[in-house]
Structure 1
Amino acid sequence: MNRNLRNRVMAGLLLTAALLLSVGIFVIRGARQFVSSSTWVEHTHDVITALEHVYATVKDVEADQRGFLLTGRVELEQEYLANLPAARTAAANVARLVADNPEQAARATQLQDLVEKRLQASLETYTTYKTSGFDQARSMVAAGAGIDLMGRIRELHKTMAAQERDLLSRRVTLSETNARTLELSTVAGLGVGLILFWLVARRLLVEVRERRRAEALTAGANAELTKSVHELALREDHTRQLSRYAGMLQSCRSVGEAIDVSRQAIDRLLPDCGSAVYLIRASQDLAESIGTWGRPAASTAALFPPQDCWALRRGQPFESEDVGHGVRCAHVSAIDDASAWSICIPLVAHGEILGLANFSCGRAPAASQRDVMVAAVEQLSLALSNLRLQDSLRTQSIRDPLTGLYNRRYLEESLTRELARCDRVGKALSVLMIDLDHFKRFNDTHGHDGGDALLTHAGRLLQAHCRAEDIACRYGGEEFTMILPEVDAERARARAEQIRGAVETLDVYHRREKLGAVTASIGVATFPESSREAAELLRRADAALYNAKQQGRNRIVSD
């Protein structure tokens, strides 16, 4: 090799080395910037999640307190007391996360103060309930201090979340810019480096081999970087869709709405999988399908005993790598002997298993998709639990807990509505006012438990004598009321005689002991003959009942 060639080779090698060194420094710097911006993106996600947790925890405090005030259930009281420190901890966590942002830090301090005030107001209501009873506590709730504080918390939560989302958008943009800059600088540096290597490699086979090795290593690093950027973007998209899904679920007012929202969201998140959602019946004997969608790779039964599912038995997700040739749940089977992957995930909320969700695909999905499945099921579990609690509270607000009949408040609302309807269609409406004769003497003889047993049996008897359109209510004490839409005075009297006769032959058992016989007096009033007003119609039926008792009881008197 002559001196000129050697000099050119050395110059090329030095130039190439210098260029690669520069590219390496730039790549390292760009990678650090990318990692830094990605870290800030993660941090912003943590802040948004913490904000949602604060708001959700305070809402849980409200819900548990309201449920306890309405029902007096000890488990709701325990959940309420347990959620108080959790709300404070969540608010403190937000303050810690935004300490680097003075503006958000000030808002976080204000949020902590509002949360503490809301919790103190809640504790005052709780203490009043424990010391002075439900009515005094309800008056404090009606005063609106807690509602005002909750509104301020909600607005501040929205402001902080909006600020964080704005930060997230800017930081994601910066992260993507850093990634593109890093990729472009790497490609440009490699291009120039390859040209120089090609010029030197014509004479030096060793340098050619080194160049190819360097190219392969760099290409691998670039592929890994591109893959990481793609996965980050995919996770961000999944997080955004799951956040929107959770928000939609919180606004659902029925299980059907929650299933429709889930169908749309999960179809977008998992387009290559099939899904099915089951709820366990109240009897705990069967799991019943309430929604299926997607393209299932394995079939699953519409109705099956909970013990047929490994996930329900173990209380945790159960995965089948190949439904046709491995351990699987009894309710899952392969379609036409084709291989399929399946997973069952329990619907768990507040420690209670509500049902399960089943997902099936032609092949095992990526870990990120499995994370999406678990996250979606967690959100659906909370939504279904909240809907069940809402239905329970509504039922408790209109039903008498002892007899299972509607209460007086529901009676007054329903009578006004049914009177208006019957007036529109030109039909009669009758009201039966029913009183159990000598109930006080029965109660004194058999004790309060015996009296309660009689009232319970009477409630069941009235329900058995109701048509679908009739409304049976406990008016108060041992008095009951029945609204009979489209029933005239003659038919109402015949219905009353059936009920009077049924009460006379009623067998009341308490603690396996048959209690004494009982009779009933019934007053009948009919729209429009007796009155056209709801309150007056009830008064006339009550007056007729009074006459029946004055005439010797165990009889029917019409107004």
Structure 2
Amino acid sequence: MRASMSVLAIDAAGAENSKKTPNRVTSYITFVLLAIVSAVALGGLLRIESAYKDVQQLRSAASLARTAVDAVSEADRTVLQLLAKQNESPDLGSLTLAARAADLSIAQFLKAVTDPTTLTVQRDADTFAKRIDEIAAALRTSRYDQARSIYNDQNVEALAETLTGILKSAADRRVAAITVLQRDISSLTTWILVLQIVTGLICIIAFFLASRKSRRDSLDRELAVAATDASRQQLSHLFAMTDMLQSASDLEDANELLRATAIKLLPTGLSGALYVFSNSRDRLMLSTTWLRGDDAPELPKQIGLQECWALKRGKPHINGDQKHTLHCQHHGKSEVALEIPMIARGEILGLLIIQSRDENGEQILEKNRNIALALADAMSLALSNITLRDKLRSQALRDPLTGLYNRRYMEDALERTVLLAEREKTAVSVIMIDLDNFKRLNDQFGHAKGDAVLRDTAAAILGQLRETDIACRYGGEELLVVLPSCSIEVAAAKAERMRSSIASFTVANGPEISASFGVASYPATSVTTKELLLHADSALYSAKQKGRNRVVRYDGDDLVIHATLPSPLTLMAAE
């Protein structure tokens, strides 16, 4: 219909430029005819749209009615099953769930419809629910005879059949109404098709009556306007994506926006994937894909930096379908792919891949190259912002030298962990660690060596921890580990393994490296976080006093020294 109106504009312009009266009259007649046909067709389209909405509402109501029928039948069947198990303890949970499902499904149906049957359904549903509650109450106290009496005397089965019958009838009426509406839609569609044919004939006649030059010029203008509108729409989508990406809090949000925008902007038949750097930045990991069919070849989960020409060149690269073209190592030969490195602030952040399985895939990708580049630019900036936010968040919570959490985070985390342990009746242990003679090591070998020892110590500690454990730099050369759901015996065993690992850093003709450990636990030795830290520190002080390079656990007023490696069973528990 829009094309018809465009041809009308062509004829109108030609008539204005022509001084011949017949051409002008023809243009006026064409305008009137197209206006009439357009109005009729528009009315038909609006009626079809309204009919489609009615069909959707009727389908929804019919589906709700069938769901209610199934739920009521299930509730009745559950009652019969429970009544048959006289000598067994009744499972009222299934009856409660079935009754609740019936109530909910009927309520949803009543909410969706407004015909007179709703009063009958509501009344019967209330009665049915009341009888089910009475039977459940009797079964709850093992009064099977009374429950059967209620079921038989109150005609619960007949009531369920009546209720399901009304609901089935309501569903059938709506199915019949859907059939009528679909027939009307089919008829209207046929009429609109006829009108479109008439419109086409009118346009053809007008086309041949107009001058060839004005026709060509007008068509050029129409194509230019269409191209401009398409470009404007694409820009609008891109601006919207860029604006929303500024609000993306993480990579998953950015992935969702990329998928939605790419599907809107790129033509049908083009699929895509996004790869982002791993934490170690030594490879790219698959982050998201879109429109990948079941028969499409599986994409690699990761891509090495030397496997992709787009990454090595820092420029877009097309993996074509010709044998003698340059292909990336990771590329599947059954697809043509445009690969775009995503660069922001001079840094490559990921790889955007647009793929086609069409025989003219290279031409299609080249035609949509600018859109793909715009998508990559928008996503690059978003990834850069997300990376920067994550880096700032990490800097606020972690010690820059060791990568462990800082003291502020530890204090909050320890408080939360102890509160959780108190609620769940579990243990929380704390290991306080201090490197022995660290000041002397700095004085003799320099602060660079001291920093290296701290980093190695942090790595050794992390290697002994679970994902739920928390390690932090408490201050200076003091480190602290929080172990949720861990007894003091297991914590002491874990500390002994840390001590042994740190002691292994000592090399010939090098500084002697060792650490002292103090262990305390909630609620075994301490009842508050303050006491927990105080007792762990006290045990650490005792380890220092008794010669260093040892583990001491606080055990009430006594301090227990772990002078040797714990038993294998304790070490297995520490894992």
Q: Counterparts in 2 of 1:52-451, with a 5 A limit? A: 183=10, 185-189=12-16, 193=20, 195=22, 215-272=211-268, 273-281=270-278, 285-294=282-291, 301-302=299-300, 303-319=302-318, 322-324=320-322, 327-330=325-328, 331-335=330-334, 342-361=337-356, 362=358, 363=360, 364-365=363-364, 369-451=368-450
Is the CA contact (8 Å cut-off) linking 1:403 and 1:455 kept in structure 2? yes
Residue aligning to 2:478: 479
CA distance in 2, matches of 1:471, 1:538: 14
* Residue identity opposite 1:230 in structure 2: A
Is the CA contact (8 Å cut-off) linking 1:400 and 1:406 kept in structure 2? yes
How far does residue 275 in structure 1 lie from its aligned partner after superposition? 1.3
Deviation track 1:165-220 (CA, whole Å, cap 9, x = no partner) reads xxxxxxxxxxxxxx999757405436874836999xxxxxxxxxxx9898111111
Is the CA contact (8 Å cut-off) linking 1:271 and 1:294 kept in structure 2? no
Select 2:505's aligned residue among 490, 498, 507: 507
CA distance in 1, matches of 2:259, 2:252: 11
Structure 1 residues 396 and 372, CA gap change in structure 2 (3 angstroms): same
Is the CA contact (8 Å cut-off) linking 2:514 and 2:549 kept in structure 1? yes
Is the CA contact (8 Å cut-off) linking 2:516 and 2:544 kept in structure 1? yes
Is the CA contact (8 Å cut-off) linking 1:235 and 1:368 kept in structure 2? no
CA distance in 2, matches of 1:224, 1:408: 70
CA distance in 2, matches of 1:285, 1:551: 46
Is the CA contact (8 Å cut-off) linking 1:544 and 1:558 kept in structure 2? yes
Q: Which secondary structure does the structure 1 equivalent of 2:389 belong to?
A: helix
Is the CA contact (8 Å cut-off) linking 2:15 and 2:23 kept in structure 1? no
Q: Which secondary structure does the structure 1 equivalent of 2:467 belong to?
A: coil
Structure 1 residues 227 and 548, CA gap change in structure 2 (3 angstroms): same
How far does residue 438 in structure 1 lie from its aligned partner after superposition? 2.0
Residue aligning to 2:111: none
Q: Which secondary structure does the structure 1 equivalent of 2:321 belong to?
A: coil
Structure 1 residues 481 and 195, CA gap change in structure 2 (3 angstroms): same
Structure 1 residues 499 and 358, CA gap change in structure 2 (3 angstroms): closer
Select 1:553's aligned residue among 548, 553, 562: 548
How far does residue 452 in structure 1 lie from its aligned partner after superposition? 1.8
Bigger-Rg structure (1/2):
2
Is the CA contact (8 Å cut-off) linking 1:298 and 1:333 kept in structure 2? no
Structure 1 residues 525 and 182, CA gap change in structure 2 (3 angstroms): same
Is the CA contact (8 Å cut-off) linking 1:345 and 1:356 kept in structure 2? yes
Is the CA contact (8 Å cut-off) linking 2:14 and 2:210 kept in structure 1? no
Is the CA contact (8 Å cut-off) linking 1:323 and 1:342 kept in structure 2? no
- What's the TM-score, normalizing by structure 2? 0.57
1:543 paired with 2:541, answer no
How far does residue 359 in structure 1 lie from its aligned partner after superposition? 1.5
Structure 1 residues 294 and 514, CA gap change in structure 2 (3 angstroms): farther
CA distance in 2, matches of 1:442, 1:366: 62
Residue aligning to 1:520: 515
How far does residue 255 in structure 1 lie from its aligned partner after superposition? 1.4
CA distance in 2, matches of 1:225, 1:499: 78
How far does residue 465 in structure 1 lie from its aligned partner after superposition? 1.9
How far does residue 300 in structure 1 lie from its aligned partner after superposition? 7.8
1:534 paired with 2:529, answer yes
Structure 1 residues 301 and 518, CA gap change in structure 2 (3 angstroms): same
CA distance in 1, matches of 2:470, 2:526: 19
How far does residue 235 in structure 1 lie from its aligned partner after superposition? 0.9
- What's the TM-score, normalizing by structure 1? 0.58
How far does residue 267 in structure 1 lie from its aligned partner after superposition? 0.3
Structure 1 residues 196 and 301, CA gap change in structure 2 (3 angstroms): closer
* Residue identity opposite 1:250 in structure 2: Q
* Residue identity opposite 2:253 in structure 1: E
CA distance in 1, matches of 2:546, 2:23: 119
CA distance in 1, matches of 2:365, 2:443: 70
CA distance in 2, matches of 1:186, 1:428: 87
Is the CA contact (8 Å cut-off) linking 2:10 and 2:219 kept in structure 1? no
Deviation track 1:423-454 (CA, whole Å, cap 9, x = no partner) reads 11101111111212222222222222222222
Structure 1 residues 235 and 326, CA gap change in structure 2 (3 angstroms): farther
* Residue identity opposite 2:223 in structure 1: K
CA distance in 1, matches of 2:292, 2:216: 36
CA distance in 2, matches of 1:384, 1:485: 34
How far does residue 282 in structure 1 lie from its aligned partner after superposition? 5.2
Structure 1 residues 198 and 473, CA gap change in structure 2 (3 angstroms): closer
- Listed as ranges, the gaps of 5+ residues in structure 2 are 1-5, 27-206, 556-575
Structure 1 residues 370 and 437, CA gap change in structure 2 (3 angstroms): closer
Structure 1 residues 223 and 406, CA gap change in structure 2 (3 angstroms): same
How far does residue 263 in structure 1 lie from its aligned partner after superposition? 0.6
Is the CA contact (8 Å cut-off) linking 1:300 and 1:332 kept in structure 2? no
1:491 paired with 2:490, answer yes
Deviation track 1:253-280 (CA, whole Å, cap 9, x = no partner) reads 2212211211111001113211122224
Deviation track 1:48-106 (CA, whole Å, cap 9, x = no partner) reads xxxxxxxxxxxxxxxxxxxxxxxxxxxxxxxxxxxxxxxxxxxxxxxxxxxxxxxxxxx
Is the CA contact (8 Å cut-off) linking 2:10 and 2:218 kept in structure 1? yes
For these two proteins, the number of residue pairs brought into alignment is: 361
Q: Which secondary structure does the structure 1 equivalent of 2:472 belong to?
A: strand
CA distance in 1, matches of 2:466, 2:414: 16
How far does residue 224 in structure 1 lie from its aligned partner after superposition? 0.2
CA distance in 2, matches of 1:295, 1:392: 33
Deviation track 1:289-343 (CA, whole Å, cap 9, x = no partner) reads 22221268986842443344332232222235x52456243333443xxxx7542
Structure 1 residues 372 and 536, CA gap change in structure 2 (3 angstroms): same
More deviation, 519-528/408-417: 519-528
Residue aligning to 1:53: none
How far does residue 508 in structure 1 lie from its aligned partner after superposition? 4.2
